[in-house]
Chain A
Amino acid sequence: MTALLNIQSLTVDRGPARILDRVTLEVGQGETVALVGESGAGKSTIATAIMRLLGEAQTSGQITLDGAGDLLALRERDMVGLRGRRLSMIFQDAGAALNPSYTVGRQLISAVRRNLGLDKTAARARAIELMTQVGINDPEARLTAYPHQLSGGMQQRVMVAIALAADPDLLLADEPTSALDVTIQAQIVRLILAQTKARGAACIFVLHDLALASQACDRIVVLYAGQVVESGPARDVLENARHPYTRQLKSCVLEIGTRDLIAPEGTVPSHRDMPRGCRFATRCPRVQDRCWAEAPPLEGGAHSFACWNPE
């Protein structure tokens, strides 16, 4: 089966800084994939690169979307046709993503019209249907509300409705719940999973929380300093982690009842003094001479990792 999305050797430079370095990853039809890693690792950059909204950056490699070819080679006009229709994105802060001066109805209806080419009446009916699907009670009344009149959770539901309006094949959700309370978080994650599943859509979740990633996603891709260091089925990556960084990330997760916390030393190196070999070498408990000299390649089949001295 061909993958829905296939990213090969995606490299992104901003000036002298290599923000993403030969990132390779695949998303199958209807699959849910988590991107995890520390702040600055490049998770949002990957999602934004797929939407081709990176702006000034220099980009190389291929991002192949089934049926559309290499997105990086498309004309902007063709890309516009894909955004919102086959690819759509939800951001962390729904409040900032919605326009404060238009009602949510106007924003949702215009997304529906733009992406589905419906007339006004049909678009309004579809908007109401979408709002019902994302669990907004009394949708007709809510259409006339301005974003600030809705809670953060409601705003995020509206964003989910807008993103799903045209039944995209791939939904990119960049920390869609980290600004929300835990009980609302669970509602939104469940909503996104249920709605993408019902549509057979695939989903890339950018998440900070490994435990949540294990609950929500089929596969996990671990990023460190712009590189994929480990990727595979969620269980393999979390219960049989081969890369020392994945282990470290997992040992930092606090579950209820965690007594001992092994806090890792140090921080991610800055782009100015990135180690030449393995980028994790400065913090790795298993570092060897070779690690300083040569960057380990990402190897393996379904479960792959980039390390000279794996666990």
Chain B
Amino acid sequence: MQNAERPVFELVDVEKVFQVRKPGQRFGRQTVGLHALDGVRLSVGQGASLALVGESGSGKSTLLRVLLGLDAPTNGQALYRGRAIREARAGGSDFARDVAMVYQDARGSLNPRMTIGALLAEPLRRFAVVPEAQIGARVEQLLTRVGLPADAAARYPAALSGGQVRRVAIARALASEPSVLVADEAVSGLDVSTQAQLLSLLRRLQQEMGLTLVFITHDLGVASYLCENIAIMYLGRIVETGPTDAVLAAPAHPYTAALRAAAPSFFQPIAEPLPGEIPSPLDLPAGCRFSGRCPRVQGDCHASDPYLARAGEGRSVACLHPLASPQASALAGTFQD
């Protein structure tokens, strides 16, 4: 680490277990533990950008709730600048001001009875970002920054399009002058043109304001455009992580490779898809949790559960038989136990 400072976020073997009713039992009181997160290790430095990618149910939103301090990990440590996240969150407004969130359902996250101006003024007042007299001017500045006309301040969310509402949500997140922006599928479901507008906006903000970005997406194109690093999740685990370009150019985990192949690409034949569906987290296969769908599965995969281990420059993979990437094969001998 060149940076002597503590990382913005650090997760050490984080586990999140939800108690749910036993499957098949409609009325019983017996519960079982559902591992939404299992042994997650992650470090996000100041100014870094990280994409979290995985199928639905893989644990992305749960991970985000842990990062935001909304859920406490069942086991392991979740740290914000060296301090337990829950503690940091409880200890005053600094955390809430520094770590801003953009929700997937932007419209649902905005009070429909408040004007856009009032919605933006609210965090400005709550965190006393500027003196009362300057609030109007700052609202206007925020609108300009996200590419909305100044007259949007007088309108209600219902009078804005889906893309504009997402811009408001981003402006609102930026109001407290955070250094960290956490976003859950902030551009999914939008038209490609609106998506392109928002992504270039986010990239500009990131460059101009040095924002640290944690971005959930299922779109590898979005991840590769916006984020320097990527973490691929499968059933509560991070199965591969590293620099986005390197990981996507030569995936080491068979699941990453499958995601990569499934991403639409002009005039390529549609790749042979993975068989089957993501299993229930209550009914994990023995050994590697990807073994039921993995094209490279071997006998030992059913016996031992691989964990995330180093596999080249800044990269890690949780697989007993990773794909040979140029880096991984060079380092195969140094695989840590």
Residues of A within 8 A of B (CB): 38-39, 151, 153-154, 178, 181-187, 189-190, 193, 208-212, 214-216, 234-235, 238, 248-249, 251-259, 261-264, 267
Q: Compute how far the CA of A193 lies from the CA of B269 in the bound complex, rounded to whole angstroms.
A: 12
* Contact across chains for A187 and B161 when beta carbons are under 8 A apart: no
Q: What are 23 A-B interface contacts by the 8 Å CB criterion?
A: A153-B277, A181-B55, A181-B218, A182-B220, A183-B258, A184-B55, A186-B270, A187-B273, A187-B274, A210-B266, A252-B196, A253-B192, A253-B221, A254-B195, A254-B219, A255-B263, A256-B224, A256-B260, A257-B224, A257-B248, A261-B199, A263-B199, A267-B163
* Contact across chains for A259 and B264 when beta carbons are under 8 A apart: no
Q: Compute how far the CA of A154 lies from the CA of B278 in the bound complex, rounded to whole angstroms.
A: 12
* Contact across chains for B277 and A154 when beta carbons are under 8 A apart: yes
**Which residues of B are found within 8 Å of A190, using beta-carbon distances?**
270, 273
Min C-beta distance of B242 to chain A, whole Å: 15
* Contact across chains for A255 and B277 when beta carbons are under 8 A apart: no
* Contact across chains for B259 and A183 when beta carbons are under 8 A apart: yes
* Contact across chains for A238 and B266 when beta carbons are under 8 A apart: yes
- Assess whether B271 is interfacial by the CB under 8 Å rule: yes
**Which residues of A are found within 8 Å of B271, using beta-carbon distances?**
186
**Which residues of B are found within 8 Å of A251, using beta-carbon distances?**
196
- Assess whether B74 is interfacial by the CB under 8 Å rule: no
Closest-by-CB residue of B relative to A38 is B191
* Contact across chains for A183 and B266 when beta carbons are under 8 A apart: no
Q: Compute how far the CA of A215 lies from the CA of B200 in the bound complex, rounded to whole angstroms.
A: 27
Q: Compute how far the CA of A234 lies from the CA of B267 in the bound complex, rounded to whole angstroms.
A: 9
Known: A208-B191, A215-B269, A254-B219. A181 touches B56 (CB 8 A): yes
Q: Which of B197-229 contact A (CB under 8 A)?
A: 197, 199-200, 218-222, 224-225
Q: Compute how far the CA of A300 lies from the CA of B163 in the bound complex, rounded to whole angstroms.
A: 35
Known: A183-B273, A254-B222, A256-B248. A261 touches B265 (CB 8 A): no
Closest-by-CB residue of A relative to B267 is A214
- Assess whether B245 is interfacial by the CB under 8 Å rule: yes
* Contact across chains for B195 and A255 when beta carbons are under 8 A apart: no
**Which residues of B are found within 8 Å of A253, using beta-carbon distances?**
192, 221, 266
For chains A and B in complex, what number of residue pairs have CB atoms within 8 angstroms? Answer: 120
* Contact across chains for B262 and A185 when beta carbons are under 8 A apart: yes
The 8 closest A-B pairs by CB, nearest first: A254-B221, A211-B264, A186-B273, A252-B192, A212-B264, A252-B196, A263-B196, A181-B55
* Contact across chains for B55 and A249 when beta carbons are under 8 A apart: no
Min C-beta distance of B94 to chain A, whole Å: 34
- Assess whether B134 is interfacial by the CB under 8 Å rule: no
Q: Compute how far the CA of A235 lies from the CA of B219 in the bound complex, rounded to whole angstroms.
A: 24
Known: A153-B277, A154-B277. A182 touches B218 (CB 8 A): yes
- Assess whether B3 is interfacial by the CB under 8 Å rule: no
The contact of B192 among A178, A183, A208, by CB within 8 Å, is A208
- Assess whether B30 is interfacial by the CB under 8 Å rule: no
Known: A182-B262, A254-B219. A215 touches B193 (CB 8 A): no
**Which residues of A are found within 8 Å of B220, using beta-carbon distances?**
182, 256
- Assess whether B268 is interfacial by the CB under 8 Å rule: yes
**Which residues of A are found within 8 Å of B193, using beta-carbon distances?**
38, 248-249, 252, 263-264
Min C-beta distance of A155 to chain B, whole Å: 11
**Which residues of A are found within 8 Å of B269, using beta-carbon distances?**
215
* Contact across chains for B192 and A249 when beta carbons are under 8 A apart: yes
Q: Compute how far the CA of A190 lies from the CA of B222 in the bound complex, rounded to whole angstroms.
A: 24
Which of B199, B249, B259, B264 has the most chain A CB within a 10 Å cutoff? B264
Which of A154, A235, A256 has the most chain B CB within a 10 Å cutoff? A256
Given contacts A183-B259, A255-B263, 14 further A-B contacts (CB under 8 A): A38-B194, A184-B55, A189-B270, A211-B265, A211-B266, A215-B264, A215-B268, A238-B267, A248-B193, A254-B221, A256-B220, A261-B199, A263-B200, A264-B197
Closest-by-CB residue of A relative to B53 is A182
Closest-by-CB residue of B relative to A154 is B277
**Which residues of B are found within 8 Å of A249, using beta-carbon distances?**
192-193
Min C-beta distance of B70 to chain A, whole Å: 24
* Contact across chains for A183 and B191 when beta carbons are under 8 A apart: no
* Contact across chains for B263 and A256 when beta carbons are under 8 A apart: yes
**Which residues of B are found within 8 Å of A212, using beta-carbon distances?**
264
The contact of A255 among B189, B221, B258, B274, by CB within 8 Å, is B221
**Which residues of B are found within 8 Å of A187, using beta-carbon distances?**
273-274
* Contact across chains for A235 and B267 when beta carbons are under 8 A apart: yes
The contact of A267 among B161, B224, B264, by CB within 8 Å, is B161
Q: Compute how far the CA of A257 lies from the CA of B268 in the bound complex, rounded to whole angstroms.
A: 16
Q: Compute how far the CA of A272 lies from the CA of B161 in the bound complex, rounded to whole angstroms.
A: 15
Q: Compute how far the CA of A182 lies from the CA of B255 in the bound complex, rounded to whole angstroms.
A: 12
**Which residues of A are found within 8 Å of B163, using beta-carbon distances?**
267
* Contact across chains for A215 and B265 when beta carbons are under 8 A apart: yes
**Which residues of B are found within 8 Å of A264, using beta-carbon distances?**
193, 196-197
Min C-beta distance of B221 to chain A, whole Å: 3
* Contact across chains for B277 and A184 when beta carbons are under 8 A apart: yes
**Which residues of A are found within 8 Å of B218, using beta-carbon distances?**
181-182
The contact of A258 among B56, B221, B260, B262, by CB within 8 Å, is B221
The contact of A263 among B189, B197, B263, by CB within 8 Å, is B197
* Contact across chains for B224 and A209 when beta carbons are under 8 A apart: no
Q: Compute how far the CA of A149 lies from the CA of B266 in the bound complex, rounded to whole angstroms.
A: 35
**Which residues of A are found within 8 Å of B268, using beta-carbon distances?**
215
The contact of A216 among B56, B270, B278, by CB within 8 Å, is B270
**Which residues of B are found within 8 Å of A259, using beta-carbon distances?**
225
Closest-by-CB residue of A relative to B226 is A254
**Which residues of A are found within 8 Å of B197, using beta-carbon distances?**
263-264
Min C-beta distance of B136 to chain A, whole Å: 26
**Which residues of A are found within 8 Å of B191, using beta-carbon distances?**
38-39, 208
Q: Which of B151-176 contact A (CB under 8 A)?
A: 161-163
